[in-house]
Chains A and B, each alone.
Chain A
């Protein structure tokens, strides 16, 4: 994470604008998208920032095409991103699976709005947590991050690009209508102070290159179209050379590696921010805009004598169980407030295994959960 000391320029930005800044700082030079509220500003800002940076913006005919173009650009060696909201995110699911299986780095921003269907286009929601996890068909690992402030939008977008390059996987950023449109102070670090990672490229002679060969990291070096490593990229399950296979002795190692490369690096990927958890008797587990309310609520609760703490999840998937489990064993009760009928709370209950009491606070009317709503529940836990 970027520390306060190293912070450079101070600006007033909305979340959507900060995502663009983060992407550009991370080296993103390609964006393809289709307009949708509340994500449209990301496209708009990209359309005038990218060409000036020598990059490319294109408005595609739909979200399916947008993610297709993003994957193509990444295969040709350019860091690429798209941004959408629920309806568009649904359309992206097939190509998202392709990016998982073909191991193509890319970043997808989903600025969540009320659903299902066209739903509540201009209202906040957190209804896509499970769609981000399981929206594409078939078993697959995925990295999903959540943002809660304009500063997060910048920092987490940089991180999302780094994860996608490092682990050769699509990374999804879940933002929401409140974060997207709230204008607030942000510190943009000096470019030299931002950690930017690039995919590892092969350095063997092309005739020795085996594009999907396993290694301890589980992430094979990635050849780029045009750089001399001619190989085959496909959404069919493939052998180490990239060719379609139906042989169990080739499928099992491939699928195992796909999961292993994400799961074995959980300590790197799982990012949470804790506040006052050391001595907490009750904790709130929150993410996205709701964690802003939760932060206020636990501070207020402490003033009133309740030892409350907050765990804000920046990484939603893979679910940070290694970090949460010890906490769950220590506290008297947990509150999981979210803008859906209980998507993350379900996961908390699953890992809790009866260790503590889990309570939920859900809202699906297009409005944010207020600090007071959380506070009222907290002091009664």
Chain B
């Protein structure tokens, strides 16, 4: 059996009524592959892993994988994940969100989760659009692009999700693309084993809702665009701002050791117990 077929047998649910909901050629499928390869490499048991997802095309991943899975409400995945991690810090909690999910309706939760620094892995599949609801502009839709709610061109400016996460205080931040699948495996694996809040922004494509409308072609053309626009972070450091216009960086953008929330909270428990004992 091919290596990946083994992983499919091990990690995808057999009792789930496939087919999945995604369009043929969607980046979510490639991301799903990267996710299970990365999890396999970390060596965690399936029972130890909790996949928490938001609402959107990417959020549907939780249905297909054989872990403890939780499909939450739109934008709130990180809040549920916070409760899970605090109640049982031994669980490896991986949160999967769309760009709208994580940075529009869930934007506040996203920055606060980064600031709190629980040991959680947060993955944002950024396809620059609201896929599931049919192509409305999202906080990552580029200026000037068209969407079903921006027929005359989008006049808002896009968030840069990875940079936002770093500014908000995440311990680790990485960006990858579904085109650079090997790198994506590595980045997700790193983020899972990282102690602290680790964010991976996954640049993906929604050819159905975004590509078509913005004359970017089909899935293959959009993958080619990812290949041509992504610059590895170490190479980017040698390039001028001019050379970098229209490009984005990929790789580990931030990696630092910060106090982890559950660890800090244990100190609070000790202090509270000591105070109580003193009070008799």
Contact = CB atoms under 8 A, between A and B. Distances in A.
A32 B83 contact: yes
Contacts of A235: 71-73
Contact of B88 (A61, A70, A71, A225): A225
A48 B272 contact: yes
A164 interface: no
A241 to B, nearest CB: 6
A230 B46 contact: yes
A62 B79 CA distance: 10
B86 A30 contact: yes
Looking at A51, A68, A243, the one whose CB has the most chain B CB atoms below 10 A away is A68
B82 A72 contact: yes
Interface string A60-80: 111011111111111111101
B83 A61 contact: no
A112 to B, nearest CB: 24
B82 A60 contact: yes
A134 interface: no
Given A72-B82, A228-B47, A235-B72, A243 B63 contact: yes
A77 B86 CA distance: 11
Instruction: Give the size category of B's interface with A.
Output: 35 or more
A45 B113 CA distance: 24
B82 to A, nearest CB: 5
B71 A233 contact: yes
A95 B73 contact: yes
A61 B109 CA distance: 7
B84 A52 contact: no
Interface string B258-276: 0000000100110111011
Interface string B14-54: 01110000000000000000000000000000111010100
Interface string B238-280: 0000000000000000000000000001001101110110000
B63 A225 contact: no
B171 interface: no
A226 B68 contact: yes
Looking at B16, B69, B76, the one whose CB has the most chain A CB atoms below 10 A away is B76
Contact of A230 (B47, B81, B83, B273): B47
Interface in A225-249: 225-228, 230-236, 241, 243-244
A163 B86 CA distance: 24
A234 B16 CA distance: 14
Given A230-B67, A233-B69, A62 B108 contact: yes
A2 B133 CA distance: 52
A72 B83 contact: yes
Contacts of A80: 83, 87
Given A75-B84, A80-B83, A230 B68 contact: yes
A30 B92 CA distance: 19
A77 B265 CA distance: 19
Given A76-B88, A98-B72, A230-B66, A68 B275 contact: no
A226 B71 contact: no
B83 A226 contact: no
A283 B46 CA distance: 59
Interface of B: 15-17, 46-48, 50, 52, 62-63, 66-73, 76, 78-88, 90-91, 108-109, 112, 265, 268-269, 271-273, 275-276
13 contacts: A51-B268, A51-B273, A52-B269, A60-B79, A65-B112, A71-B80, A73-B86, A74-B83, A74-B87, A225-B70, A235-B73, A236-B71, A243-B63
Closest 10 CB pairs of A and B: A72-B83, A68-B79, A69-B83, A76-B87, A73-B83, A72-B80, A52-B272, A51-B272, A234-B71, A73-B87
